Amino acid sequence: MTVTELSEGLRAGDTRTIERLVRTHGGPLLSVARRMLNDEQDARDTVREAFLNVFRSRASAPADAAISEWLHDFILKAALAKLASRPRTPEQAIEDYMPRFLPGGLYADTFEPWPDPVDVALARPDTAQRVREAIETLPETYRAVVILRDCEGLSRDETAKIVNTTPAAVKIRLHRGRMALRTLIAHHLDGNPS
């Protein structure tokens, strides 16, 4: 089935096409929801909600290869809505994770150069797990931007639209989120796992 046929079948409400769409794209969308929500049941509920919204909006399904991006947009919006609906719990301030500076402007803590290139280090399961755990500890507004930009590969403008902020705010949050991640995983990647 071509993308055009998939789009046409979806717009027509064809049940076989919708089933195929869920089978083909459900797994990748669930992975996105898991990264965003860090809760299996919430992720599954979010995928169901996203597909309901897809069905309700099927008349606007794109007729080209953009259908994957169209679905991706639904899951991201549904995951952010789920995050917004959760009871607010006090978050640790991002400043707690940021590098500290001495009065003269030098770093208070020094980082050793990583013994391995980042791609080699991230290929190790223990390092990948440590990075995932570190991302999960970031405050929600920074975590969402880091996931959307660095894990999902969205542009600054796309991320800004999804999280309802400006591209400049996305740039700042991403920079601060990455700096906090560097602090959180420093001991592990310095060769001194804690």
For 148-171, how does the pLDDT look when each residue is reduced to its tens digit (9 = 90+)?
899 888 899 988 988 889 999 999
Q: Where are the domains of the chain?
A: 3-85, 94-189
Q: Which CATH code for domain 94-189?
A: 1.10.10.10
- Which pLDDT band, with edges at 50, 70 and 90, does 187 fall under? low
Where does the pLDDT of residue 194 fall: very low under 50, low under 70, confident under 90, or very high at 90 and above?
A: very low
pTM of the model: 0.68
Phi, psi of 101 (to 5 degrees): -125, 150
d(CA 157, CA 146): 14
Output the pLDDT for position 172.
Answer: 95
Fold classification of 3-85 is Rna Polymerase Sigma Factor; Chain: A (1.10.1740)
User: Bridge partners of 101?
Assistant: 107
Q: What is the mean pLDDT of the chain?
A: 83
Identical fold for domains 3-85 and 94-189, yes or no, is no
- Nearest 5°: phi and psi at 107? -65, 135
Mean pLDDT to the nearest integer, 60-73: 80
**Of 166, 144, 140, which is closest to residue 76 (Cα–Cα)?**
144
